Amino acid sequence: MQMNKIRAELKSLFSPDADPLKSFMPSGPFGILVMAMIGPAGQEGHESFDFMLCTPEWFSSHMPTEIAMGRHYLFVRDYSYARLENFVRDYCSGCGEETTWRAIAEKLGRLGKWEFEDYVPYSEPPILW
């Protein structure tokens, strides 16, 4: 039996820090939250994969300590919505095809924090009496 393969598709990009993102025009170092809405290609629905889009100068000036991890940060020298959109679309394509959305989402989670990362379904606690 042939399993249907799933591919990731960028549905939209949004930033609560720069709305509308297409019109964002920074004048110097910047750091903004970007939410990439990505879902299965050709299907309804999407999930959020969030990352900080920033210049290296902004990141350097906002480091809380001498050492910092860069997970879920995307660095740019200057801002271009078209380049950002193309990068995220290419990243989605680079995730290939999988048999489950979870497998694709885990790959996408390297770009941005998946809204369901570390999600564990609720289960009733055992009755102890």
Q: Kind and range of the H or E element at 12? A: strand 8-14
Sequence ranges of the domains in the chain = 8-114
pTM: 0.87
Q: For residue 8, what pLDDT is reported?
A: 98
Q: For residue 1, what pLDDT is reported?
A: 54
The whole-angstrom separation of Cα 52 and Cα 25 is 16
The whole-angstrom separation of Cα 28 and Cα 55 is 9
The whole-angstrom separation of Cα 36 and Cα 56 is 21
Task: Write out residues in the chain with pLDDT < 50, as ranges.
Answer: none
Q: For residue 120, what pLDDT is reported?
A: 73
Q: For residue 2, what pLDDT is reported?
A: 58
Q: For residue 42, what pLDDT is reported?
A: 93
Q: 94 is written with which tokens?
A: 């680079």
C-alpha dihedral, 28 to 80 to 78 to 29, nearest 10°: 30
